Amino acid sequence: MPPLLHPALPLLLGATLTFRALRRALCRLPLPLHVHADPLRTWRWHNLLVSFAHSIVSGIWALLCVWQTPDMLVEIETAWSLSGYLLVCFSAGYFIHDTVDIVASGQARASWEYLVHHIMAMGAFFSGIFWSSFVGGGVLTLLVEVSNIFLTIRMMMKISNAQDHFLYRVNKYVNLVMYFLFRLAPQAYLTHFFLRYVGQRTLGTFLLAVLLMLDVMILIYFSRLLRSDFCPERVPRQQHKDKFLTE
């Protein structure tokens, strides 16, 4: 069925509007004092709250999908489940919402890395949504959201100037372990799987190209994470104030 008539469109619209409504609700929560004093930090805080909620739901959901349909670990192209399909639609809705939020808030230039990531992620997810291929791959990709739970906690604590808090010190080690288990390991596994599509003119080749670009971005983020949390003396004193990604 042509994408413009696809029944998944209401699911995508519903997920996008759900995250929009969630953001409006979260904006009513009290802010840390240091965050409240800066409009940019306020926007970042609200944006990260939505990201945190998405990570919790999607991370747990992805684990359940793999547990319920273990074939997704092997039959990455053909394995399918209703729960996995709905998860991919749900997360695609989040990326649509976050892209609109970044652009509408005037943060596109400072957050261009996030926009590139979101566009690539949506392109990959749409293959599963509209053509029902690689749904298993989409679910495995979303295991990264387990890691994002702790990464988002880290970013929110940095924004609120709580780097000296005991919880931050504990979280930075937990975050490092989760980064290996749920970001680097699944990404390496998926890259190895998709290398079989080299030289073919198929959807798998397109997804391999997306995956390789995401590999580069993930390694860059990992180097920033190590430099910021474990080699802080190497971090330049003057950071870009409007940069969305806090190192």
pLDDT tens profile 5-61: 678 999 999 999 999 999 999 999 999 988 998 999 999 999 999 999 999 999 999
95-133 as b/e: b if 16+ CB within 10 A: bbbbbebbeebebeebbeebbebbebbbebbbbbbbeeb
pLDDT at residue 224 is higher than 70: yes
pLDDT at residue 2 is higher than 80: no
pLDDT at residue 117 is higher than 90: yes
Of 90-94, 151-155, 189-193, 198-202, the least confident: 198-202
DSSP H/E element including 157 = helix 144-159
Directed axis angle between helix 203-230 and helix 185-194, to 10°?
Answer: 160
Average pLDDT over the chain, rounded to whole?
91
pLDDT at residue 244 is higher than 60: no
63-86 as b/e: b if 16+ CB within 10 A: bebbeebeebeeebbebbbeebbe
Amino acid at 27: C
- Do residues 65 and 139 make contact, with C-beta atoms less than 8 angstroms apart? yes
pTM: 0.92
pLDDT at residue 242 is higher than 70: no
Nearest to 113 by CA among 5, 37, 1, 218: 218
What tens digit of pLDDT does each residue of 163-193 get? 999 999 999 999 999 999 999 999 999 999 9
Q: What are phi and psi of 3, to 5 degrees?
A: -50, -35
What does the pLDDT average to over 73-79?
Answer: 94
Q: How far is CA 170 from the centre of its chain?
A: 22
> In which region does residue 122 sit, left (phi positive, over 0), alpha (psi from -120 to 50) or beta (all else)?
alpha
